[in-house]
């Protein structure tokens, strides 16, 4: 039962009806049952691990709070984090480390006998582990009280709209919302349904239509440079449409229950720098890495070189979090290098803009920075999408080949599309861009739309629904659902 399924829509409809029909004091039971049922439908083998991690985090939080001294609190917190990271490390990284050691041993002609282990990655373990870590650290820092109600804490740990792929929420924001009696409000139901429909639209009409085209290039034994360039650009669009759609559906579902989740995207492909990109892309992960990795490691450091090292470490952790493969490690390091290089050269680039008089044409200068940032992000995603380090370097070389950028080569690469697919994709891609344009001019596209005449509003709603039903290409899993 995935988000993009009739089964989920029926399941969620029943939950919403029951939620507002039963008394508030029993709603936590319903949400908890719904969360575990949803998780079990996707990954029944690991419900026990989810229960164990929940119980451990709950008891560790109380233990931290009961300690008398700061030093004792810190020891308990670190012990708790180590156990949580052990679970994550065993399931997600054991074979990665084991295979890496085996490869080094073979190269050095050492005897290494530990074989590959058949370990299945538990669904959502990366997301709920980070939420658990933030909860323990916030208790230690005095920013969060240890939750005594086991039911509410369990919902925070496994809330089904955002369990699979975030947003990564903080207990300080999410826990109090479960305890407040939510009343049935038309605006919540209306907004939630619109966000869910928008998520379905982006997933089925953009992401899932691009997925097979991107795969046909990256799975090809001999792609051309132009095909790699086009496929990588399309993959960037696919990845954004896919992941933001997942966040839209999560936010929409939660809002229909009266719960407000954190926005996770803010038109990231319009970023004017890599720093700006990470303030717009997967915002809750970026904030988590800033608050629990970057800031603590920067404490007491004043030298620019030391801060640059911390930036590299932070992005390295980001890469490892995304996947247990050296290609993800390299992807993280590339973004770390981007950030360091961008900060180190900002004064020089400012002088160049003045010298070339670009700063006198702010609109042109802005769009040049957007284009440059987008291309840098696309290049890094060659490593994100490739199946191995060897393939990543081969694809990166093709990406950087000058002939790959010739207009004739790019036009030839568009042969990956059938004429009908190209027309359909272009039409719906333009609709997405129109929504983004409205959002840039207004606080919310949906609020702006609600102020239009009824005929215009419902024409848009009908267009979304009919487009999904007629042209939607589903069957593809969510990219970030595998993390």
So where are the chain's domains?
6-184, 188-482
> What is the rounded CA–CA span in Å between residue 361 and residue 100?
50
List CB contacts of 149: < 8 A, sequence separation 6 or more.
28, 179
Give yes or no for a contact between 416 and 231, defined as CB atoms under 8 angstroms apart.
yes
Could you tell me where the DSSP H helices lie in 89-207?
Answer: 94-108, 125-141, 150-158, 160-163, 171-179, 186-202
Cα–Cα distances (Å) from 200 to 162, 197, 427, in that order, read 16, 5, 16
Residue 438 has which token pair? 């409205």
Cα–Cα distances (Å) from 171 to 63, 144, 147, 246, in that order, read 17, 7, 9, 21
- How many beta carbons lie within 10 A of that of residue 159, not counting itself? 26
Of 232, 234, 239, the C-alpha closest to 399 is 232
Give yes or no for a contact between 285 and 265, defined as CB atoms under 8 angstroms apart.
no
Size (the chain), residues: 483
Could you tell me where the DSSP H helices lie in 345-388?
Answer: 346-355, 362-385
> What is the rounded CA–CA span in Å between residue 476 and residue 183?
36
Residue 145 has which token pair? 């009280």
Of 87, 80, 77, 260, the C-alpha closest to 159 is 260
pLDDT of residue 78: 94
> What is the rounded CA–CA span in Å between residue 134 and residue 380?
28
pLDDT of residue 329: 93
- DSSP output for 217-273: HHT-SS--HHHHHHHHHHHHHHHHHHHHHHHHHHHHHHHHTTPPPPP--S-GGG-SS
Query: CB pairs under 8 A, 24+ apart, for 376-382?
Result: 376/274, 376/338, 377/236, 377/269, 377/271, 377/274, 377/277, 378/232, 378/233, 378/236, 379/232, 379/334, 380/331, 380/334, 380/335, 380/338, 381/232, 381/235, 381/236, 381/239, 381/331, 382/228, 382/232
Of 221, 230, 155, the C-alpha closest to 408 is 230
pLDDT of residue 121: 79
Of 231, 338, 333, the C-alpha closest to 277 is 338
pLDDT of residue 458: 86
Residue 260 has which token pair? 């407000």
Cα–Cα distances (Å) from 83 to 52, 128, 132, 169, in that order, read 11, 14, 11, 21
The residues carrying an active-site annotation are 322
> What is the rounded CA–CA span in Å between residue 2 and residue 425?
24
Per-residue pLDDT tens over the stretch 202-228? 998 888 888 888 888 898 888 888 889
Query: What does pTM read for this prediction?
Result: 0.90
Listed as ranges, residues in the chain with pLDDT below 50 are none
Of 91, 98, 97, the C-alpha closest to 116 is 98
Which H or E run contains 49?
Answer: helix 47-66
3-state secondary structure of 409: helix
């Amino acid at each position: 039962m995935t988000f993009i399924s009739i089964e989920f829509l029926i399941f969620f409809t029943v939950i919403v009806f029951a939620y507002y029909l039963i008394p508030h004091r029993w709603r936590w039971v319903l949400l908890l049952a719904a969360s575990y049922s949803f998780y079990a439908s996707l990954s029944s083998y690991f419900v026990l691990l989810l229960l164990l991690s929940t119980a451990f985090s709950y008891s560790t939080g109380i233990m931290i709070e009961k300690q008398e001294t700061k030093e004792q609190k810190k020891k308990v917190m670190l012990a708790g984090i180590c156990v949580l990271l052990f679970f994550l490390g065993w399931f997600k990284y054991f074979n990665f480390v084991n295979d890496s050691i085996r490869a080094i041993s073979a190269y050095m002609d050492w005897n290494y006998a530990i074989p590959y282990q058949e370990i299945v990655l538990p669904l959502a373990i990366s997301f709920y582990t980070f939420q658990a870590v933030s909860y323990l650290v916030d208790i230690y820092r005095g920013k969060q009280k240890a939750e005594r109600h086991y039911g509410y804490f369990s919902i925070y740990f496994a809330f089904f709209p955002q369990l699979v792929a975030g947003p990564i929420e903080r207990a300080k924001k999410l826990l109090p919302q479960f305890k407040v009696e939510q009343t049935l409000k038309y605006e919540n139901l209306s907004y939630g349904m619109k966000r869910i429909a928008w998520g379905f639209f982006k997933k089925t009409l953009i992401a899932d239509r691009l997925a097979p085209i991107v795969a046909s290039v990256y799975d090809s034994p001999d792609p051309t440079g132009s095909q790699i360039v086009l496929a990588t650009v399309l993959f960037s669009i696919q990845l954004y449409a896919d992941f933001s759609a997942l966040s839209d559906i999560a936010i929409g579902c939660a809002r229909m229950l009266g719960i407000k989740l954190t926005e996770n995207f803010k038109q990231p492909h319009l970023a004017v720098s890599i720093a700006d990109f990470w303030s717009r892309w997967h915002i809750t992960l970026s904030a988590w890495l800033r608050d629990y990795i970057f800031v603590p490691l920067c404490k007491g450091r004043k030298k620019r070189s030391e801060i640059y090292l911390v930036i590299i470490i932070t992005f390295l952790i980001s890469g490892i979090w995304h996947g247990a493969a050296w290609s993800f490690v390299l992807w993280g390091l590339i973004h770390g290098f981007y950030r360091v290089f961008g900060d180190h050269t900002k004064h020089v680039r400012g002088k160049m803009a003045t010298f070339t008089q670009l700063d006198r044409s702010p609109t042109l200068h802005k769009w040049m920075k957007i284009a440059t940032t987008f291309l840098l992000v696309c290049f890094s995603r060659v490593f994100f999408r490739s199946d191995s380090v060897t393939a990543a370097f081969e694809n990166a070389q093709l990406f950087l080949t000058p002939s790959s950028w010739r207009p004739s080569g790019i036009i030839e690469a568009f042969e990956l599309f059938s004429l009908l697919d190209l027309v359909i994709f272009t039409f719906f891609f333009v609709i997405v861009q129109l929504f983004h344009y409205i959002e840039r001019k207004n606080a919310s596209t949906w609020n702006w739309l609600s102020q239009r005449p009824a005929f215009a509003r419902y024409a848009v709603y009908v267009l979304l629904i009919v487009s999904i039903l007629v042209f939607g290409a589903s069957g593809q899993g969510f990219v970030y659902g595998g993390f």
